[in-house]
Amino acid sequence: MHVVLKTHNCNYFSLNYLTLNNLTKNPMKTLKFLKSCKLMILIIIAIAAMTLACNNSIKSDQSSYVSISSLNPWETSLDSIYVLQNPDRYAWDLFRAINWPADTIQMIADTTLQLGDPGWVVWQTWKTGPEVYQANGHKPKGWYQKDFGIRSLKNFNHFSKKAGIPDITKNPTFGLEEVVLNKSTYDYVVENNLYNRNGQLELYNSEYQINFPKESIELKVKWRKIPDTPYDKARYHYQYIETVNKNVVSRDLYGLVSIHMTSRILKRWFWATFEHIDNRSQKHPGDDGWLLPTRDRFACKNAPYDCEQAPTNIGLEGTKWEYFLLRGSQTEYVDEYGDPTLLANSNVERGFQLSSSCITCHSLASIGPINPADSSLYFVDFLYFSPLKKFDGGIFGGKGRVGVPDSNLFNLPDSVGGKMKRNDFVWSLIEASWYQPDSTLTIN
């Protein structure tokens, strides 16, 4: 499709070249023409070279486009033009690739297996937030060091940093949430010492700007407790999680209900969110249902593209993954009419779905100097926490920021001065802690 854009440009250059060529068919006219403009021959050569280069680029781009359709199902394209022109198709490409069964030794897709086969999937070999941003601020373990045993609540993220919102590590009623970073994202964080606040503060005080590589991907997923029955196990990607209640250890079955994804393939990243179809009808404590329409231009063939069906002919049929729906994707702050674009997951953005914009929210990801109020680093608050609603002792809601971000939000308090530095849309960096020396070490 981007061949059209290239062809348009090449036609422009070719037209100029042909026009000049016609002017020089008559030798006498040619001589007079060149004498009147001695530089024209250089221009002709330059235009001819540009035309040739453009034609070559068309061939290259055509080959690139063909290669997209020939990718293996566990692979995704790095062609940003393809993503911009086919955002929902790319969302499903990425969904299929990250949910492909994993080789837990090499931490890659196991190409001997099929989509939907039991076991760990690719994104589960990636590093979780607690693995990268350790409580003691220490450097995380190497990429290939990962425990695939039974998990417990300590493996999951806190529900929110905001005071008054339930901590899921103590009460899993609201579901278990985790953020995972692929290898490109993990490598960038580690290589730039962004896994603790010490490294982030050093970066803030430098001239360096955070700029993740194009291959970076980050997910936020949500798990809910489901019945331990063959029926539910066939419909969900699931895992057993160890919980403790009054000193009694038990293992509960949790099913995957939401996948929030972002890819650095675009300058402002690419955003998409998926939900299990059961979310549409089930209600859990604090839930407010699906408040935004589903929009999928790949699975649904007719406007307004809200058929709420999984696509066919990409390998989902007959697997647990056919029960997931793409709720929507996002590549820009505003639509063609200048209105803010919205994207929300009913599990992740509970309480503020109608003012949820992933791209705007993450554009505010930031770091600043030390905040004396709590010894953390300053960052932009992505929610207006008014009005709030209370539910079973928890606080949910607030109002998200949408549209083009306001640059004034990055201003530090007048008493501090200056601006915060942007985190290249990566909010997970605020999970970092200050470095704490290992108390078991002794100095001779």
Query: Cα torsion for 18, 22, 24, 25, to the nearest 10°?
Result: 130
Candidate from 156-160, 172-176, 321-325 with smallest mean pLDDT? 156-160
Nearest Cα neighbor of 157 from 125, 189, 187, 133 is 133
**pLDDT at residue number 369:** 97
Is 390's pLDDT higher than 70?
no
Question: 52 near 76, Cβ under 8 Å?
Answer: no
Over the Cα atoms of the chain, what is R_g?
26
- Of residues 282 and 143, the one with the higher pLDDT is 143
pLDDT band at 361 (very low <50, low <70, confident <90, very high): very high
Which residue would you say has higher pLDDT here, 176 or 68?
A: 176
Token digits for 412? 């530090």
pLDDT: is 387 or 90 the higher one? 90
pLDDT exceeds 70 at position 277:
yes
List the one residue out of 379, 258, 250, 243 whose CA is nearest residue 324: 258
Residue with tokens 């999937």: 121
- Asked if residue 62 has pLDDT above 50, the reply is no
Task: Supply the pLDDT for residue 9.
Answer: 36
Cβ atoms of 265 and 313 closer than 8 Å: no
In the block, tokens 């699931």 appear at: 238
Q: d(Cα 226, Cα 220) in Å, to the nearest integer? A: 19
* pLDDT for residue 440: 54
pLDDT confidence bin for 347, thresholds 50/70/90:
confident
Confidence of residue 20 (pLDDT cuts 50, 70, 90): very low
Q: Are 109 and 102 in contact (CB under 8 A)?
A: yes
pLDDT score at 384: 64
Q: What is the pLDDT of residue 385?
A: 53
Mean pLDDT of all residues in 44-68: 39
Q: Name the pTM for this structure.
A: 0.80
- Give pLDDT, residue 185: 98
In angstroms, the CA 93 to CA 203 distance is: 35
